[in-house]
Amino acid sequence: MIKDGKFGKYGGIFVPELLIPALEELESAFLKYKDHSGFNKELNYYLQEFAGRPTPLYFASNLSKKLGCKIYLKREDLLHTGAHKINNTLGQGLLAKYMGKRRLIAETGAGQHGIATAAVGAMLKMPVDVYMGTEDIERQKLNVFRMEISGARVIPVDTGSKTLKDAINQAMRDWISNIKDTHYLIGSTVGPHPYPTMVKHFQSIIGEETKQQILEKEGKLPDAIMACVGGGSNSIGIFSAFIEDNVELIGVEGGGTGLSTDEHGATLCRGTNGILHGSLSRVLQDKDGQIKEAHSVSAGLDYPGVGPEHSHLKEIGRAQYVAITDPEALRGFQLLSKYEGIMPALESAHAIAYMEKYAKKPENKGKTIIVNLSGRGDKDMFLAAKLLGVET
Amino acid sequence: MKTYHEMFTDLKEKKEAALMPFIVIGDPDFETSLEIAKTLIKNGADALEIGFPFSDPIADGATIQEADTRALKNGITVDKCFKFLIRLRKFTSAPIGLLVYYNLIYQRGVKKFYEDAMKAGVNSILIADLPPEEAEEALKASQEYGIDQIFIIAPTTSNKRLKMISKHASGFHYLVSVMGVTGARKEVKRSTLTFIKRVKENGKLPVMVGFGISKPSHIKEIIRAGADGAIVGSAIIDIIAKNLDNREKILEEIAKFTKRMKKATRRL
């Protein structure tokens, strides 16, 4: 490898020897094409014409009035397939094509990354296999249908906790067995180097656009930026353009039934250093180092690890990480729907819920706040209705 | 306690290659797995590779994953694994190698893990998800406590990389015979045989071949290609998985299987 893929002490390449040549090949292709004008021209074309970029930075006037702050929403929820995931799938899908790979594999929890990969696979004419835990398949049948109708094959994973973490394990095993013709399209800033760096690169367009847009609208940088953190790709995407600036960066984790319980996905708030899925980062684990299951009402935040750069940003104090419980997130889901007519994904609803808490603190009155609205809530309608006691 | 060097030297005199079966501590339960280890030794195993169960074993196929799950459900902890090793060492002087995922070592503290391994009479440690690039701390501890550090060499490992790995490795070279995860396979591929020759020419240590070795004929083939021994895992764990409700049968079947496999290590 040319680089060690470390963010401070976090990150790295903790993988079986069999994967090293594949990671070396991927790193060198990424370094070659990330600043390649032909590659970027093609990627930008798809980002605009296929995905729908740039996304607006919307001034949420009703909530701003209600909360006494200036609140902006970065509308990644408007992208094709319903979330920011498509930025990364387009980037990696195209890179795989440039590398001469003929097959894409991906993991998915709730199905959003699987759907984005299936869409890109269909568009680029590459077969796609998506690994998905049997628990998640049961919870997200419609998303399975959506992947399959785009031509992807959904492979059930019945091992371990039967959720996202095990889907990643299984996708890695597939990749180990098929590295010659297959690209493993990881959906978040997790995994061994070069994934955390590469996924951040493809998601950093969120931050770049946001910075330009807020400067146009306000003539100055915001006071604070908030985003939900599961694996951490939408948050690192929007944070990336502001890391050197005097802007508060806040990541919001899935607090589940509360941080004093065992049922949460708050890896940065409650996890400890450990190695999972190829990198050193914060991990939810027992004292021996066995990985625990995470819990969150939103499947996208239901992961016991987190991208290594977030662990680094926390350690150096550059970003702050907080947690929002399941009921609070549901309140955020209702709040944005009611006041702005925008139904957020339950993941993004965590960031909305924290934004309300933040805005209500007297010391934050009048501040300019940007929330990364990473996904739309259509996928969560049935679950939200059920949780709110509405029959569907 | 025998070193690997002594084991390979003895076997060479007897015109034999090494048979190193693999089991997971606590599969199907703590006491039975200890009995299985003893059975393996009594029936001809020259060394043992002992796995610590892990919640997320990415280098392993379904067979070993399930063994790990069974062991963890039985409440196996890292402390219990060391207790297992201490009891096993009282029974045999054969070399014992560990197969561990790095997070278990990292959480105990790298130095402490190697110290405990030394006290338990362990010969070597192979860390499934730790390439030499990340192994500085482990290598330091392995030298401090006199434990051989085993690294995997894959068919895709270039000769240049093989030399780099050779510089750090001791004990033996662990060849992964195919691109994939652990698990029994029907045949040994021709490419495996040329790969063995390549490692014999470019490496510096005896060569043990693992992943997919499940029949006496596999052992004969890899020995003919120059391997110094075979590591057999999933085929043994399959026997356990098929007879979970019958401990006596597990031990009987494993005894028979081990004898057959050991016989195949004799060079004619």
pLDDT digits (tens, 9 = 90+) for A151-206: 999 999 998 888 899 999 999 999 999 999 999 999 999 999 999 999 999 999 99
Under an 8 A CB cutoff, do A287 and B158 touch? no
Q: What ipTM was predicted for this assembly?
A: 0.95
Q: For residue A130, what pLDDT is reported?
A: 98
Tell me which chain A residue has its CA closest to the CA of residue B70: A160
Nearest CB neighbour to B131, from listed A13, A173, A280: A13
What percentage of chain A carries pLDDT values higher than 90? 93
pLDDT at A141 over 90: no
Give the per-residue pLDDT at B172. 98
* Interface contacts (A, B; CB < 8 Å): 117
Cβ contact B65–A15 (<8 Å): no
Q: Which residues of chain A form beta strands (DSSP E)?
A: 6-7, 10-11, 57-59, 70-75, 103-108, 128-133, 153-157, 182-184, 224-229, 248-256, 272-276, 279-283, 319-325, 368-373
Query: A285-312: string of b/e by CB count within 10 Å (b at 16+)?
Result: beebbbbbbbbbbbbbbbbbbbbbbbbb
Whether B152 contacts chain A with CB within 8 A: yes
Q: What is the pLDDT of residues B82-99, one digit of tens each?
A: 999 999 999 999 999 999
How far B16 CA sits from the closest chain A CA (Å)? Answer: 29
User: Is the bond preceding B57 in cis, omega lying within 30 degrees of 0?
Assistant: no
* pLDDT beyond 70 at A150: yes
Considering Cα of A241, then A244, then A247, then A252, what sign does the dihedral take? positive
Q: How much is the pLDDT for A340? A: 98
pLDDT tens digit string along A341-357?
A: 999 999 999 999 999 99
Question: A73 or B190: which carries more pLDDT confidence?
Answer: A73
Query: Does A291 sit within 8 Å of B59, measured CB to CB?
Result: no
Token pair 């094409």 in the structure block, residue: A33
pLDDT confidence of residue B268? 67
Comparing CB atoms, the residue among B103, B134, B180 nearest residue A274 is B103
Which residues of chain B does A13 touch, with a Cβ-Cβ cutoff of 8 Å?
131, 133-134
Contacts of B54 in chain A (CB under 8 A): 289-290
A343 phi and psi, to 5 degrees?
Answer: -95, 110
- CA–CA dist A147, A115 (Å, integer): 5
The distance of Cα B183 from the centroid of its chain, to the nearest Å, equals: 13
Tell me whether residues B58 and A173 touch, CB distance under 8 A. yes
| Pair of tokens at residue B45 | 């195993």
Q: If we measure between CA atoms, which residue out of A233, A195, A231 comes closest to residue A305?
A: A231
Nearest CA-CA partner of A44 in A98, A99, A94, A119:
A94
Question: Kind and range of the H or E element at B133?
Answer: none
Question: DSSP H helical segments within B74-157, as ranges?
Answer: 78-91, 102-108, 110-119, 136-144
Using an 8 Å CB-CB cutoff, list chain A residues near B56.
160, 165-166, 169, 276-277, 291
φ and ψ of B16, to 5 deg: -130, 160
Q: Other CB atoms closer than 10 Å to residue B143's CB: what's the count?
A: 12
Contacts of B150 (CB under 8 A, 6+ apart): B97, B124, B125, B126, B169, B170, B171, B172, B174
| Best to test chain A binding among B24, B54, B55, B150 (most A CBs inside 10 Å) | B55
pLDDT digits (tens, 9 = 90+) for A253-285: 999 999 999 999 999 999 999 999 999 999 999
Query: Chain A interface, mutation test: which of B52, B82, B103, most A Cβ atoms within 10 Å?
Result: B103
Mind telling me how many Å the CA of B128 is from chain A's nearest CA?
Answer: 6
Q: Which of B65, B153, B180 sits opposite A17 (nearest CB)?
A: B153
Query: Is B116 one of the catalytic residues?
Result: no
Query: Which residues of chain B make contact with A166, given a CB cutoff of 8 A?
Result: 56
Q: B160 in contact with A at a CB cutoff of 8 Å?
A: no
pLDDT under 50 in chain B at which residues?
none
For residue B154, the chain A residues in CB contact (below 8 A) are 17-18, 20-21
Q: Cβ–Cβ of A16/B58 closer than 8 Å? A: yes
Catalytic center residues of A: 85, 107, 374
The pLDDT of residue B185: 78
DSSP assignment letter at A181: T
pLDDT at A135: 87
d(CA A324, CA A266): 9
The minimal CB distance from A290 to the residues B54, B60, B62 is found for B54
A10 phi/psi in degrees, rounded to 5: -90, 160
Q: What is the 3-state secondary structure (H, E, C) of A123-176?
A: HHCCCEEEEEEHHHHHHCHHHHHHHHHCCCEEEEECCCCCCHHHHHHHHHHHHH
Contacts of B134 in chain A (CB under 8 A): 12-14
B107-119: pLDDT as tens digits: 999 999 999 999 9
CB atoms within 10 A of CB A339: 18
Residue A134, both tokens: 């049997």
Partners of B241 on chain A (C-beta within 8 Å) are none
Sign of the torsion angle spanned by Cα atoms A134, A289, B74, B148: positive
Cβ separation A17–B151 shorter than 8 A: yes
Chain A partners of B60 at a C-beta cutoff of 8 Å?
A: 173
Which residue is closest to A161 within chain B, CA to CA?
Answer: B55
Do the chains contact at B179 and A289, CB–CB below 8 Å? Answer: no
> Could B55 and A291 be called an inter-chain contact, meaning their C-beta atoms sit closer than 8 Å?
yes
B104 contacts A288? CB cut-off 8 A? yes
Q: Touching check for B189 and chain A: CB below 8 Å? A: no
B130 → chain A, closest CA residue? A14
User: Between the CA of residue B38 and those of A297, B7, B32, B49, B85, what are the distances in Å?
Assistant: 48, 18, 10, 13, 12
Tell me whether residue B66 is one of the annotated catalytic residues: no
Burial status of residue A389 (CB atoms within 10 A of its CB: 0-12, 13-18, 19 or more): exposed
pLDDT at A26 over 90: yes
Q: Which residues contact B9 (CB under 8 A, 6 or more apart)?
A: none
Per the listing, tokens 């014999």 go with: B200
pLDDT tens, residue by residue, A298-333: 988 999 999 999 999 999 999 999 999 999 999 999
